[in-house]
Amino acid sequence: MSNKPPHILELLPKRYTLWGLLCLSLGFAIFVIIWSRAPEYRPLVQDMRLVNAVKIVDVLDVEEIPYKADIKNHILYVDVLHSDQARLALAKVGFVFDYPNKDTFSSIPQACALLESQEAKENRPIHQTEWFLRLVRIIMAAIVLITLILVVVRPILKNLILEDNNKD
């Protein structure tokens, strides 16, 4: 090590620090992208011990609705984007959860027809729609990544490139 000129010994720690920051920024960017694309799950069945969980899961599988089962806490979670579709599919089979005025209908087909018509013409505020939160997360991720590139990665790469040009 003593054979090397002193300027190289001074340059190595700075270069390693810059490469470390660049790798850390890349790891953070990957985390933000994964976070923004991850589905959000909400509880559909609060206590699976009280219902026929196998039949409910079969209906969700047939309808190709993504779900998670928390066996320890006996809770069944459904993706937020598909929660209305899951409730409607389960109502067709005879499981009715969290619907207002569900006791006023005399038959399940009548209730399902009304639920389908309400779902088709539902006018909710934009912030209550299923896709709004996902869009907000993607926009937030884009802002974080652009800021990361402009504030951290760009100066690091500029410094590394200028060091290489100064050597020549």
Q: Is the pLDDT of residue 103 over 60?
A: no
| 156 or 110: which leads in pLDDT | 156
Residue percentage of the chain with pLDDT more than 70: 73
Cα(14)–Cα(99) distance, rounded to whole angstroms? 62
CB 65 within 8 A of CB 78: yes
pTM of the model: 0.56
41 φ, ψ to 5°?
Answer: -105, 140
- What residue segments make up the domains of the chain, in order of their start? 6-37+134-167, 41-123
Lowest mean pLDDT among 50-64, 81-95, 104-118, 148-162: 104-118
Lowest mean pLDDT among 43-47, 74-78, 148-152: 43-47
Helix locations, the chain, DSSP H: 6-37, 53-62, 83-93, 108-120, 130-148, 154-167
